C-alpha cells in the first residue's frame, strides 16, 4: 500500500501547487515611485487602457510616467489592460510641465505619449489625463522562440514521438524558463510571466473533465454499459443491421452525456464477442460505433473535450450546444445509419445467425448488472448532474460545478457503502496524465497568444476570407475536420479558440456560428 499512497500524495501535491498558485495571480501592480503628499500641491490623475491591434487588453505592460525628464511613477497594467497613476506636483509646476506616458512590453513596439501640463483638463487643483494606448505587435525574439517551441511541441504530440503530456510539459516549462532567465537579462526575450501562465489555465475545463471521469469511473463498476449491449442484442433477435443501429443509438446518446472514449472502451469487448459469434468482421460494427460516438459527443457541451473547451472559452451553455447542434447531430446519425446499410449491408446480411436464444442466455449471464444498488444511485446522481447542466446558465454557474457536485455525491456514496476502493478510484479512474496534458497545453497556447502568433493567424484568416461569413465558416469546418483527422483535436482546438473569438467579433453576422463550425469540424 506504500506505493499507491505515495503516488496519491504526489498527485495531490502537484494539484495543490496549481490551485494555490491561482491565488497569487497578479491583477496589476501599483506604482513603485510615489512622492509624499504635498499640502496645497496640484494633483495629477492619469488613467487609460493599453490595447493591442485587435483592441484586446494588454496585461502586464510596463507604464512609466515621466515629468520633465524625471520618472514620477512606474506601474504595470492589470489583467484588463488598465493603468492608473496619481501623483502630486508643486503648486504651479504643472503649468510648465511636460508629462510623458511611456508604455513597453515584450513582443510589442514601445510607445510614448507626450502632454503639456497647461493643456490638461482640470477641476480646481486636480488635473486629468485619460488616454488609451494602442501598441503594435513586433515579431521579436520572444515571438520566434515561442513559435518554434509551440510548433515543435505540436509535432511531438501530433506524431506521437513523445507522450503528449511530457511533450506539453517540456514546451510549457521551456517557455517559462526562457522568460525568467534570458528574459530577465533582456526583456525582448520575455515570453510571459508565471502569473500569466497560471491565468491561461482554464480550470473550468480541468474540473469538468475530472468530475465526469469520477462519475464514469463509478458507473463502469456496475456493468451497465455491457448490459446495454446485451439488451440491444436481445431486442434485435438476430437481425444484425438492427443490432448495429441499436448499438449506434445507445453509443451516441451515452457519448452525449459521458466520456465517449470510455464508452467505446467498455463496449468494445462485448461488441467483438457478438461479432465473433455471428462470424462478422468486428470492424463492420466497431467503425459505425466509433462514428456514432463522435456524432453523439458533438451534440452537447460535455460530450467531447473540444466542446468543453469551446463552451468554457466562449461562455456557451449546455442548452446553447443542444439547440444549435442537437438537430444537426441527429440528422448526421440518420445519415450514418443509411451509409452503414449501403456500405456494410451485404456483410450484415451474410452474418451467421445461429442459436440466438442460447447466445442471448450466455450474454445475459456474462454481462449482467453487477451492482444494482450502486447503479440506482449512479443514475439518480447522473440525472441530477444533467439537470444542473441544462440549467447552469440560469444559475450563472460554471458547468464544472455541476460535474464536481455529481462526482462528489456519487463518490461519497460508493466509498461509504464500500462499493469502490478510494485509491483505485483516484489513481485509475481519474486520468491524471490527461488532466496534466490539458494544463500544460493551456500554458503553451497562452504563450503564443501572448507573443502574437495567434493574432497573426487570425489576421491571415480574415484576409483569406475577405471577411465573408460563409467562406469563414467553410474554412473553419474543413480545416478543423482535416486537421483533426491526422492530429489530436485537443491541441488544435486550444489553438483555434482565440482565433475564432477574434473572427466572431470582426466578421459581420458571425455571432456564435463560428463556434459551432469549430465544434462540428474538430469533433
Residue 346 lies in a domain: no
Q: Of 134, 155, 185, which marks where a domain is finished? A: 134
Give the CA-trace dihedral at 299, 486, 261, 495, to 10 degrees: -60
Say what the pLDDT of residue 460 is. 94
Question: What residues have CB less than 8 Å from 355, skipping those under 6 apart?
Answer: none
Phi, psi of 243 (to 5 degrees): -60, -45
- pTM of the entire structure? 0.88
When the pLDDT of each residue in the chain is averaged and rounded to a whole number, the result is: 90
**110 assigned to some structural domain:** yes
Note the pLDDT of residue 264: 87
Confidence of residue 365 (pLDDT cuts 50, 70, 90): confident
Residue 2 lies in a domain: no
Question: DSSP letter string over 397-448?
Answer: --HHHHHHHHHHHHHHHHHHTTSS-HHHIIIIIS-HHHHHHHHHHHHHHHHH
Q: Is residue 463 part of a domain?
A: yes
Domain boundary, last residue among 108, 134, 160: 134
Is 81 domain-assigned? yes
What is the 3-state secondary structure of 461-513?
HHHHHCCCHHHHHHHHHHHHHHHHHHCCHHHHHHHHHHHHHHHHHHCCCCCCH
pLDDT at 488: 84
Whether the pLDDT of residue 361 is over 90: the answer is no
pLDDT > 70? residue 33: no
Q: Residue 38's pLDDT is what?
A: 65
pLDDT for 258 equals 85
Residue 72 lies in a domain: yes
For the record, the C-alpha cell of 452 comes out as 502574437
Q: What is the pLDDT of residues 77-89, one digit of tens each?
A: 999 999 999 999 9
Distance of CA 446 to the CA centre of its chain: 11
| pLDDT over threshold 70, residue 424 | yes
Tally the domains of the chain: 2
Cell 445507445, residue? Answer: 250
How large is the average pLDDT for residues 72-97?
93
Q: Does residue 446 lie in a domain region?
A: no
Task: Please list the helix, strand and coil fractions of the chain in percent, rounded to the nearest 5, in that order.
Answer: 65, 10, 25
Which candidate, 202, 195, 192, 141, places its Cα nearest to that of 171? Answer: 192
Is 25 contained in some domain? no
Find the CATH number of the domain harbouring 93.
2.60.130.10
Residue 69 belongs to what domain range?
42-134
The CB-based long-range contact list for 351-357 (8 Å cut-off, 24+ gap) reads: 351/240, 351/278, 351/279, 351/280, 352/278, 352/279, 353/238, 353/240, 353/278, 356/237, 356/238
What are 230-248's pLDDT values in tens digits?
999 899 988 999 999 999 9
Confidence of residue 20 (pLDDT cuts 50, 70, 90): very low
Residue 101, SS3?
strand
In this prediction, residue 325 carries a pLDDT of 97
pLDDT category at 39 given cuts 50, 70, 90 is low
Residue where a domain stops, chosen among 71, 103, 134: 134
What average pLDDT score do residues 148-171 get?
95
Amino acid at each position: 500500500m506504500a506505493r499507491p499512497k505515495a503516488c496519491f500524495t504526489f498527485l495531490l501535491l502537484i494539484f495543490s501547487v496549481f490551485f494555490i498558485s491561482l491565488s497569487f495571480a497578479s491583477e496589476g501592480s501599483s506604482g513603485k515611485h510615489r512622492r509624499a503628499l504635498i499640502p496645497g500641491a496640484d494633483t495629477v490623475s492619469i488613467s487609460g487602457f493599453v490595447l493591442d491591434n485587435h483592441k484586446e487588453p494588454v496585461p502586464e505592460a510596463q507604464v512609466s510616467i515621466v515629468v520633465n525628464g524625471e520618472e514620477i511613477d512606474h506601474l504595470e497594467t492589470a489583467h484588463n489592460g488598465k493603468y492608473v497613476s496619481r501623483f502630486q506636483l508643486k503648486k504651479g509646476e504643472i503649468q510648465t510641465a511636460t508629462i510623458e506616458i511611456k508604455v513597453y512590453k515584450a513582443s510589442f513596439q514601445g510607445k510614448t505619449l507626450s502632454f503639456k501640463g497647461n493643456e490638461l483638463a482640470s477641476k480646481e487643483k486636480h488635473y486629468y489625463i485619460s488616454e488609451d494606448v494602442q501598441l503594435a505587435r513586433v515579431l521579436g525574439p520572444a515571438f520566434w522562440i515561442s513559435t518554434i517551441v509551440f510548433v515543435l511541441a505540436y509535432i511531438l504530440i501530433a506524431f506521437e514521438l513523445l507522450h503528449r503530456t511530457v511533450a506539453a510539459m517540456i514546451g510549457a516549462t521551456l517557455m517559462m524558463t526562457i522568460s525568467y532567465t534570458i528574459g530577465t537579462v533582456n526583456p525582448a526575450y520575455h515570453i510571459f510571466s508565471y502569473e500569466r501562465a497560471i491565468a491561461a489555465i482554464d480550470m473550468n475545463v480541468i474540473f469538468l473533465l475530472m468530475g465526469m471521469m469520477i462519475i464514469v469511473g463509478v458507473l463502469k463498476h456496475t456493468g451497465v454499459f455491457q448490459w446495454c449491449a446485451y439488451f440491444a442484442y436481445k431486442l434485435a433477435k438476430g437481425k444484425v443491421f438492427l443490432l448495429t443501429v441499436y448499438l449506434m443509438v445507445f453509443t451516441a446518446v451515452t457519448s452525449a452525456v459521458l466520456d465517449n472514449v470510455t464508452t467505446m472502451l467498455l463496449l468494445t469487448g462485448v461488441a467483438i464477442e457478438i461479432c465473433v459469434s455471428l462470424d462478422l468482421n468486428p470492424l463492420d460494427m466497431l467503425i459505425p460505433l466509433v462514428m456514432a460516438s463522435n456524432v453523439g459527443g458533438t451534440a452537447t457541451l460535455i460530450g467531447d473535450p473540444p466542446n468543453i473547451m469551446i463552451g468554457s472559452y466562449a461562455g456557451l451553455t449546455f442548452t446553447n450546444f443542444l439547440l444549435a447542434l442537437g438537430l444537426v447531430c441527429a440528422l448526421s446519425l440518420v445519415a450514418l445509419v443509411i451509409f452503414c446499410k449501403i456500405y456494410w449491408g451485404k456483410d450484415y446480411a451474410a452474418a451467421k445467425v445461429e442459436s440466438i436464444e442460447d447466445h442471448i442466455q450466455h450474454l445475459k449471464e456474462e454481462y449482467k448488472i453487477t451492482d444494482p444498488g450502486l447503479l440506482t444511485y449512479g443514475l439518480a446522481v447522473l440525472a441530477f448532474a444533467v439537470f444542473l447542466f441544462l440549467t447552469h446558465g440560469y444559475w450563472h454557474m460554471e458547468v464544472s460545478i455541476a460535474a464536481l457536485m455529481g462526482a462528489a455525491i456519487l463518490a461519497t456514496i460508493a466509498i461509504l457503502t464500500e462499493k469502490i476502493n478510494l485509491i483505485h478510484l483516484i489513481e485509475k479512474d481519474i486520468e491524471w496524465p490527461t488532466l496534466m496534458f490539458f494544463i500544460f497545453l493551456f500554458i503553451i497556447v497562452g504563450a503564443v497568444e501572448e507573443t502574437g502568433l495567434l493574432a497573426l493567424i487570425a489576421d491571415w484568416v480574415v484576409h483569406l476570407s475577405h471577411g465573408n461569413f460563409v467562406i469563414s465558416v467553410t474554412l473553419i469546418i474543413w480545416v478543423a475536420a482535416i486537421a483533426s483527422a491526422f492530429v489530436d483535436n485537443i491541441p488544435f482546438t486550444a489553438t483555434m479558440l482565440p482565433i475564432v473569438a477574434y473572427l466572431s467579433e470582426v466578421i459581420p453576422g458571425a455571432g456564435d456560428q463560428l463556434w459551432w463550425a469549430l465544434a462540428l469540424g474538430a469533433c
